[in-house]
Structure 1
Amino acid sequence: MTITLRPGSTVMFAGDSITDSQRLDSEDGLGFGYPLRVAGEWDFRHPDRPVNWLNTGIGGHKVSDLETRWQTDVLDARPDVVSLLVGVNDMGWHTLDPDGRVIPAEEFAAGYDRLLAPLAEAGTELILVEPFLLPIRGTVMAGPGAQIDDAVREEWRADLDPKIQVVRELARRYGAHLLAADGMFAELAAASDPEHWSADGVHPTPAGHAALAAAWLRLVA
């Protein structure tokens, strides 16, 4: 079944930099990534069903960071739908993370569950977006002075896969709609260059954001 967005519904996008997409620099606060594309396409298709779109993503945030601001940034807004994409920063970023700590899947699961529980209790519709990692090969830049190579990506993948399973299990437990982004991008990368969808394997290109938005819109009616 799909989620029905009714006139006046409030949809909240939450997560890290992939959702943030420079939202504070955008006129409407939605950023320049998939939340903006979702909102624009929906409003184009359904001018008779206006929706209140909100984005509270913050770059670099982990599940634990979302927990500290969940009440004020998300719960207090009383959204009808919450779309959550988080997890890529929870895989530690290894050489990019000053403390080098890899968060266990069990800790990730417990924190993620604490985010969802009050929303489920309030009857909020949930869309959980899998964290993802595209199979980019070779050494690329992932920010000022930060390099990612194949060995690092293999470590990331080994750490991320159990966390993807956590998101899938929580989606089943809460009856949430799952956007299987990791699988989607794996299929897209197999059919064309992975770099077409993400230059560093983590942050989507405009085409990658468009793919996320199209998949998101297939979950709503």
Structure 2
Amino acid sequence: MTITLRPGTIVMFTGDSITDPQRLESRDGRRFGYPLRIADEWALRHPDRAVTWLNSGLAGSKVRDLESRWQADVLDVRPDVVSILAGINDVGWRTLDPNGYPISAQDYAAGYDRLLAPLAEAGTELILIEPFLLPIRGVVQKRDVRIDEAVRKEWRADLDLKIQVVHQLAADYGAHLLAADEMFAKLSATTEPEYWAEDGVHPTPAGHAALAEAWLRLVA
């Protein structure tokens, strides 16, 4: 089944830097990421069904960071639909930050569950997007850290556990699941993964377009 977006529906996107590609530096607050692409494509397809699109994504966020802002950023807005993409910062990516560290799959699950519970109680439609890591090759330099195949292998193993959590929560809450990691794996099998995300994490414009197209298939 798909989610029906009726006139006046409020949709909230939230998550980390993938949902927040410099949105606070732009006039409309959304800039070039998949939420903006979704809103623009919806407006083109459905001029008779105006939807309010909101974005509370913030770069660097872990699930615990979303939880600390959840009341003000999400619950107080009373959205009809909430779309969440969070998890890559809970894996190895944030070990590049001296203040960051990965959390266990159990803690990730518990925190994510606390985000979803009040929304489910309010009858909010939920879209959970898998965190993802593309199989890029070679070395990426981030600050003073060298990210090579060995590092990505460790992240991949941890991320797979987080993805399992998202699948279980989607089943538990009857949420719509966007299998982004699976989607990008398939795309990377036919086109080099760097085309979709140069560093394996942050999508290129083409990667954001792919996310937007997949998201729109979940709504009607």
TM-score normalized by the length of structure 1: 0.97
**Partner residue in 1 for 2:175:** 176
What stretches of structure 1 move > 4 A for 4+ residues in a row? none
Amino acid of the structure 2 residue aligned with 1:45: R
Give 3-state SS (helix, strand or coil) of 2:19's partner. Answer: helix
> How far off is 1:127 after superposition?
0.3
Amino acid of the structure 1 residue aligned with 2:119: L
> How far off is 1:29 after superposition?
1.2
Q: Distance in 2 between matches of 1:94 and 1:68?
A: 18
**Partner residue in 1 for 2:77:** 77
> How far off is 1:4 after superposition?
0.1
**5 Å matches for 1:70-219?**
70-93=70-93, 95-98=95-98, 101-142=101-142, 144-219=143-218
> How far off is 1:99 after superposition?
5.1
Question: What root-mean-square deviation, in Å, do the aligned CA atoms of Structure 1 and Structure 2 show?
Answer: 1.2
Q: Distance in 2 between matches of 1:192 and 1:30?
A: 27
**What are structure 1's unaligned runs of at least 5 residues?**
none
TM-score normalized by the length of structure 2: 0.97
**Count of residue pairs brought into register by the alignment:** 220
Superimposed CA distance per residue, residues 137-183 of structure 1 (whole angstroms, 9 cap, x where no aligned partner): 110134x4443211110010011001000000000000000000000
Superimposed CA distance per residue, residues 192-221 of structure 1 (whole angstroms, 9 cap, x where no aligned partner): 100000000000000000000000000000
Contact 1:13 1:83 in 2 (8 A): yes
Report sequence identity in percent: 73
- Please tell me whether residue 30 in structure 1 is matched to residue 30 in structure 2: yes
Contact 2:95 2:102 in 1 (8 A): no
Give 3-state SS (helix, strand or coil) of 1:203's partner. Answer: coil
Give 3-state SS (helix, strand or coil) of 1:19's partner. Answer: coil
Q: Distance in 2 between matches of 1:44 and 1:112?
A: 33
